[in-house]
Amino acid sequence: MNVEQLLTDAVSETIETMAFLEVNKADSITPYDEHLVRLRVEILVNAPFPGEMRLVLPKSLAGLFAQNMYSLEEQDVTEEIVEDVLGEIINIIAGRLIADILPDDQTFQLGLPLIGPDAFLETEASSHAIEFSIENIPFWVVLFGDGFQSAA
Amino acid sequence: MKKIMIVDDSATSRMFVKRCLQTLLVDQDETEYREAENGKEALARLKESPADLALIDLNMPLMDGATLLRWMKASPKLTLIPVVVITSVDSPANREELMQLGASHVLSKPVAPAKLKPVIDEIFDLPSDDGFGF
């Protein structure tokens, strides 16, 4: 199975179902813009393999998710709502991806989402970053650890 | 009046579940929705006043959903409450484990009215075709 395609499906279906926004996958990674205020939310895969999934996105896009999901005006979106929305999105994307790559008889466990500001988009040897966009705003999902690929 | 307990540490998830239930139960008598952020809080509140249905997440701080489910099924006062697990950790193997623990249904997130409708119809013995077209 192609992990990148499974991840694309998981990201698209989750965001389209929850936030009613169309997701497009990019063919390359946009150069890092250090002036762009970004957030990152990450979740650990605890079993059956150690791994991590990280969602990195502009703060403005995170706000748009929250606006759409809660039917709020921009000025009514709080930091607390944005953090909760991002935590739920990464939780669902990670669960969907891992369920898709593991055999049916394999159980799995996820940690709790952690949210914070993003300093830079890490590109370690064991990581795999994929860029997506919504309304021409890019965002990224990064998979850490070999488990995603080897399980698939 | 139906009493429904929604247990999830994510306010967003609780909001989604409640919205779906409100859509599905719009024609029913008044429904009381209760919310808890973790299994420990839910268990304490259910012991005070049992509900007709509990919809619970799995990954939560303090007490996770599987532990809450075990406690409920071990409690004579709570064992008959139908428990629907709504989780992102949904694989056939995870699902089988939860059903063995006593869950009546297991649904994957994100929940939507179409996904929840047959479960609610079955639990509350509602007519399967109510005009929503799901």
ipTM: 0.85
Of A70, A84, A104, the CB nearest to B93: A104
Supply the pTM of this predicted model.
0.90
Cβ-based contacts of B12 with chain A (< 8 Å): 69-70, 81, 84-85, 87-88
Residues of A in contact with B90 (CB under 8 A): 95, 99
Residue pLDDT tens, chain A, 152 long: 689 999 999 999 999 999 999 999 998 888 877 788 889 999 999 989 999 999 999 999 999 999 999 999 999 999 999 999 999 999 999 999 999 999 988 989 999 999 987 765 555 557 888 999 999 999 999 999 888 877 66
Which chain B residues touch A107 with a CB distance below 8 Å?
Answer: 91, 93-94, 97
Checking if the pLDDT of B42 tops 80, the result is: yes
Side-chain-facing half-sphere of A82: CA atoms under 13 Å: 21
Nearest to B12 by CA among A71, A108, A132, A102: A71
Domains in chain A (CATH in brackets) are 3-151 (3.40.1550.10)
Q: B91 vs A102: CB contact, 8 Å cut-off? A: yes
Domains of chain B: 2-123 (3.40.50.2300)
Residue located via tokens 């669902």: A92
Q: Of A46, A31, A60, which Cα lies nearest the Cα of A131?
A: A31
The predicted pLDDT at position A57 comes to 94
Taking alpha carbons only, the member of A40, A43, A69 closest to residue A139 is: A40
